[in-house]
């Protein structure tokens, strides 16, 4: 109908998967593509915290490249000065200039991205999807399929709706399923059970500002040999080149994080500081903060680059845990998130 604007394609999640999906759609000529993210900025698990002239990467520290498809993008990002090689072989670890979140900011530049928007349910309509949302500055709402407490959900009323003609959901599958369940969207049982099977490890990370150099060896990265060692990874963000002052990110392993997740921040920090004290060398800690990731790395993944939920209008679920059976690594990572977002967008273009 002339004069009536088309409803947008909406992407829930402005992590790297959602951003790459949106860029793929825009590059293919789609004009109305909107990315929604509940965070203060996009980027999701490509996260950088800045406190004055101190900076911490506290989600992914780097990414690796195993496919020529991803390498084509990385070559372009290298040329743009967005990423550089950090260390490692045979799979080089790439870091982002200025912090990992900066990469997603560059990727988001040409896109229409709305932040602090938490989608609370997705409902099917005859020709599209109806999304309810709240501003992240308002009440807490449950986040996962397993955390259903309908009485707690803040209902902003009918005004807070977004209509979409097609949807890509890149929130981790436990959260994606929750949104569909809230809106009464039926997912066929085979698909639903594959989505339900995806699970994530939590991760607790301490962000420590030091008054002098750390004892972390060059190039600012030390990983435990035993995957169950409480402190799994320590990164010196100064040596990494993103912080003006010595600043350590100390990651607990999944097992330790799960066992300690319910404890108070100060108790977790005290124990992590003790476990990691050798890495601060003789320097004192001038500030300590905690970051809690409920979803860090997927323990079990979805067998395929995206999931398609059959309905009147297209709905695809994508993200780092959607991995092709041909993927040689078979674990969730930045590369799998990128490839999933792109594959979901290409499939959507076929469906539209």
Ligand X SMILES: Cc1cc2nc3c(=O)[nH]c(=O)nc-3n(C[C@H](O)[C@H](O)[C@H](O)COP(=O)(O)OP(=O)(O)OC[C@H]3O[C@@H](n4cnc5c(N)ncnc54)[C@H](O)[C@@H]3O)c2cc1C
The residues binding ligand X (CB under 6 A) are 12-18, 36-39, 44-46, 59-63, 117-119, 170-171, 175, 179, 203, 205, 251, 293, 296-297, 319-320, 332-334, 337
Q: Which is nearer to ligand X, 1 or 318 (CB)?
A: 318
Smallest distance, Å, CB 244 to ligand X? 23
Q: Which is nearer to ligand X, 30 or 335 (CB)?
A: 335
Q: Which is nearer to ligand X, 192 or 205 (CB)?
A: 205
Smallest distance, Å, CB 319 to ligand X? 3
Smallest distance, Å, CB 174 to ligand X? 10
Q: Which is nearer to ligand X, 124 or 206 (CB)?
A: 206
CA 112, 113, 118, 122 torsion-angle sign: positive
CA 100, 105, 106, 111 torsion-angle sign: positive
Q: Which is nearer to ligand X, 38 or 280 (CB)?
A: 38
Q: Which is nearer to ligand X, 61 or 214 (CB)?
A: 61
Smallest distance, Å, CB 54 to ligand X? 18
Smallest distance, Å, CB 37 to ligand X? 5
Q: Which is nearer to ligand X, 60 or 247 (CB)?
A: 60
Smallest distance, Å, CB 35 to ligand X? 9
Smallest distance, Å, CB 120 to ligand X? 7
Secondary structure of the chain in HEC code, one letter for each residue? CCCCCCCCEEEECCEHHHHHHHHHHHHCCCCCEEEECCCCCCECCCCEEEECCEEEECCCCCECCCCHHHHHHHHHHHHCCCEEEEECCCCCEEEECCCHHHHHHHHHCCCEEECCEEEEEEEEECCEEEEEEEECCCCCCCCCCCCCCHHHCCCCCCCCEEEECEEEECCCHHHHHHHHHHCCCCCCHHHHHHHHCCEECCEEEEEEEECCCCCCCCCCEEECCCCCCCEEEEEEHHHHCCCCCCEEEEEECHHHHHHHCCCCHHHHHHHHHHHCHHHHCCCCEEEEEEEEECCCCEEECEECCCEECCCCCCEEECCCCEECCCCCCCCCCHHHHHHHHHHHHHHHHHHC
Q: Which is nearer to ligand X, 7 or 170 (CB)?
A: 170
Smallest distance, Å, CB 292 to ligand X? 10
């Amino acid at each position: 109908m002339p004069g009536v604007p088309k409803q947008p394609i909406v992407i829930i999640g402005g992590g790297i998967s959602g951003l790459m999906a949106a860029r793929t759609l825009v590059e293919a000529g789609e004009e109305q593509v909107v990315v929604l993210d509940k965070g203060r900025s996009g980027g999701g698990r490509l996260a950088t915290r800045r406190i004055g002239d101190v900076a911490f990467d506290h989600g992914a520290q780097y990414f690796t490249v195993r496919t020529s498809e991803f390498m084509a993008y990385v070559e372009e990002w290298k040329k743009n000065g967005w990423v550089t090689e950090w260390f490692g072989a045979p799979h080089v670890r790439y870091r982002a200039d200025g912090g990992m979140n900066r990469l997603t900011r560059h990727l988001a530049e040409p896109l229409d991205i709305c932040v602090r928007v938490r989608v609370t349910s997705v409902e099917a309509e005859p020709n599209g999807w109806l999304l309810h949302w709240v501003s992240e500055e308002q009440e807490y709402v449950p986040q996962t399929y397993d955390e259903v407490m309908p009485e707690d959900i803040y209902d902003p009323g009918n005004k807070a709706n977004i209509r979409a003609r097609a949807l890509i959901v890149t929130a981790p599958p436990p959260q994606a399923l929750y949104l569909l369940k809230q809106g009464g969207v039926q997912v066929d049982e085979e698909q639903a059970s594959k989505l339900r099977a995806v699970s994530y490890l939590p991760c607790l990370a301490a962000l420590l500002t030091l008054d002098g150099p750390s004892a972390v060896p060059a190039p600012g990265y030390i990983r435990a040999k035993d995957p169950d060692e409480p402190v799994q990874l320590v990164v010196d963000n100064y040596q990494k080149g993103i912080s003006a002052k010595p600043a350590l990110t100390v990651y607990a392993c999944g097992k330790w994080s799960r066992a300690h997740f319910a404890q108070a921040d100060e108790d977790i920090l005290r124990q992590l500081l003790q476990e990691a004290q050798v890495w601060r060398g003789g320097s004192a800690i001038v500030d300590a903060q905690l970051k809690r990731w409920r979803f860090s790395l997927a323990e079990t993944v979805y067998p395929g680059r995206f999931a398609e939920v059959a309905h009147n209008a297209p709905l695809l679920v994508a993200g780092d845990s959607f991995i092709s059976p041909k993927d040689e690594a078979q674990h969730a990572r930045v590369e799998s998130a990128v490839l999933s977002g792109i594959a979901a967008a290409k499939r959507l273009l076929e469906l539209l």
